[in-house]
C-alpha cells in the first residue's frame, strides 16, 4: 500500500487552498528532509496560493518542510 501525502487545506495567510485557487507543483531539493525520501522523491510538493497571488503576495507551502543545511548558499529551493 502506498503512503498518502498530507495535503494542506489552508495557506499560512489563512486562505483556503481549494480547487481552482491553488497551483500544485514540484521543487527538486536535497535538503535533509528530502534526502531521506528516496531517489525518485528528492524534492518538495509545492502549493502556491492564488488568493495571495491576487493580493500581490507570494505564499508557497513546501511538503516536507524545507530545512537548509548549515553550509547552504541559499535558504529556499
Give a yes or no: residue 42 inside a domain: yes
Q: Which residues contact 50 (CB under 8 A, 6 or more apart)?
A: 20, 21, 22, 23
Give a yes or no: residue 69 inside a domain: no
Give a yes or no: residue 11 inside a domain: no
| CA proximity to 77, closest of 40, 41, 23, 26 | 26
DSSP 17-51: --TTSEEEEEEE--SHHHHTT-GGG-EEEEEEEHH
Give a yes or no: residue 58 inside a domain: yes
Give a yes or no: residue 6 inside a domain: no
pTM tops 0.75: no
pLDDT digits (tens, 9 = 90+) for 1-59: 445 667 788 998 999 999 999 999 988 888 888 876 666 678 888 899 999 999 998 88
| CA proximity to 50, closest of 62, 59, 37 | 59
Give a yes or no: residue 59 inside a domain: yes
How many domains is the chain built from?
Answer: 1
Q: Which domain holds residue 49?
A: 22-63
Distance CA 68, CA 72 (A): 6
Give a yes or no: residue 74 inside a domain: no
Give a yes or no: residue 56 inside a domain: yes
Amino acid at each position: 500500500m502506498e503512503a498518502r501525502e498530507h495535503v494542506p487545506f489552508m495557506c499560512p495567510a489563512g486562505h483556503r487552498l481549494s480547487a481552482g485557487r491553488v497551483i500544485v507543483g514540484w521543487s527538486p531539493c536535497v535538503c535533509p528532509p528530502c534526502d531521506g525520501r528516496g531517489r525518485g522523491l528528492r524534492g518538495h510538493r509545492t502549493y502556491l496560493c492564488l488568493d495571495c497571488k491576487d493580493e500581490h503576495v507570494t505564499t508557497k507551502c513546501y511538503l516536507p518542510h524545507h530545512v537548509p543545511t548549515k553550509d547552504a548558499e541559499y535558504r529556499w529551493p
